[in-house]
Amino acid sequence: MSRISALFALQQTDSEIEGRLASIAQIEVAMSNTATLEIAREAASEAETSFIAVRSKLRDLENAAEDSERHALELEKKLYGGQIKGTKEMGAAQSEIATFRQRRKEQDDQSVEAMVSLEEAEAANKAAKANLAEAQAEWDKSTASLKEEHARLEGQLPGLRSVREQRAKAAMPADLPIYEKLRGQKQSIAVAEVQNGKTCGRCRVELPLAKQQQVKSGMNIVNCPSCGRILFLK
Ligand SMILES: [Zn+2]
């Protein structure tokens, strides 16, 4: 292996490691983004709360209507059973019965309205629950494949790191700091492959003839006159 091809091999492994790390980071971001699920969960909880409130309101109205009716019946029993005597008292009882009956009628009307609301709230509750179940299933499904991919990529790292170690050892020790420094400056790509024997594979600049000759030997580090990367010719 020539001096420069050792650096190129190292570059390839570094790029592979970097690609895996970037994908792992992306997966972690995707897995932490639970916004859609949270919205569905909140909507389901709100729909449930409102359904319970309407149901309890209806029950209260029905109980109140029953009470009104019972009071009216009790008074009627007393009135027609002869327990209430005197014209004035009987008149008062009749007026009270009429008030209870009127109240009961109003409460029945309100119950009918509440029943309609209850039907709507029940339908909304069911829909929100179904939506949440769907969002949850979607989430489970997508995170299952994300988790799998995450584990697959993580599993590749130790092997790649040991290849990297070997490749770093195969390079000339004095070249490593040069390589690392360039990687830091050039978006992690320190070595550019020369294409067609004359063009920098990274910045696409055509190399002067003298440089082309130097690159061919593969013995010394030759930098691209434009982007500064180490040039490598297969
Ligand atoms: Zn270049």
146 and 161 co-located in one domain: yes
**What domain count does the chain have?**
2
Q: How remote is the CA of residue 208 from the centroid of ligand 1, in Å?
A: 12
Where does a domain end: 170, 186, 214? 170
For residue 124, what are its two tokens? 């909304």
123 and 152 co-located in one domain: yes
Q: How remote is the CA of residue 7 from the centroid of ligand 1, in Å?
A: 16
For residue 87, what are its two tokens? 């014209």
Please report whether residue 28 resides in a domain: no
Q: How remote is the CA of residue 163 from the centroid of ligand 1, in Å?
A: 27
Please report whether residue 27 resides in a domain: no
Q: How remote is the CA of residue 182 from the centroid of ligand 1, in Å?
A: 12
Where does a domain end: 170, 198, 214? 170
CA dihedral over 64, 66, 72, 77, signed as positive or negative: negative
- Given a contact cutoff of 8 angstroms between Cβ atoms, the answer to whether 127 and 120 are in contact is no
220 and 111 co-located in one domain: no
pTM: 0.69
pLDDT value, residue 12? 97
Domain residues for the domain of 61 are 34-170
Place of tokens 């290849």: 163
CB within 5 A of ion ligand 1: which residues? 200, 202-203, 224, 226-227
pLDDT value, residue 207? 96
Please report whether residue 12 resides in a domain: no
148 and 185 co-located in one domain: no
Residue 27's contacts (CB-CB under 8 Å, 6 or more residues apart) are 146, 149, 150, 153
Q: How remote is the CA of residue 17 from the centroid of ligand 1, in Å?
A: 23
pLDDT value, residue 1? 67
Beta bridge partners of 192: 231
pLDDT digit string (tens) for the chain, length 234 residues: 689 999 999 999 999 999 999 999 999 999 998 999 999 999 999 999 999 999 999 999 999 999 999 999 999 999 999 999 899 999 999 999 999 999 999 999 999 999 999 999 999 999 999 999 999 999 999 899 999 999 999 999 999 999 999 999 999 999 999 999 999 999 999 999 999 999 999 999 999 999 999 999 888 999 999 999 999 998
Please report whether residue 195 resides in a domain: yes
The C-alpha angle with vertex 108 and arms to 104 and 112, in degrees rounded to 5, equals 170
Please report whether residue 3 resides in a domain: no
65 and 160 co-located in one domain: yes
Q: How remote is the CA of residue 3 from the centroid of ligand 1, in Å?
A: 19
Q: How remote is the CA of residue 224 from the centroid of ligand 1, in Å?
A: 5
pLDDT value, residue 218? 80
Where does a domain end: 154, 170, 186? 170
Number of residues that this document lists for the chain = 234
Q: How far apart are CA 58 and CA 82, in angstroms?
A: 36
Q: How remote is the CA of residue 234 from the centroid of ligand 1, in Å?
A: 16
C-alpha R_g of the chain: 41
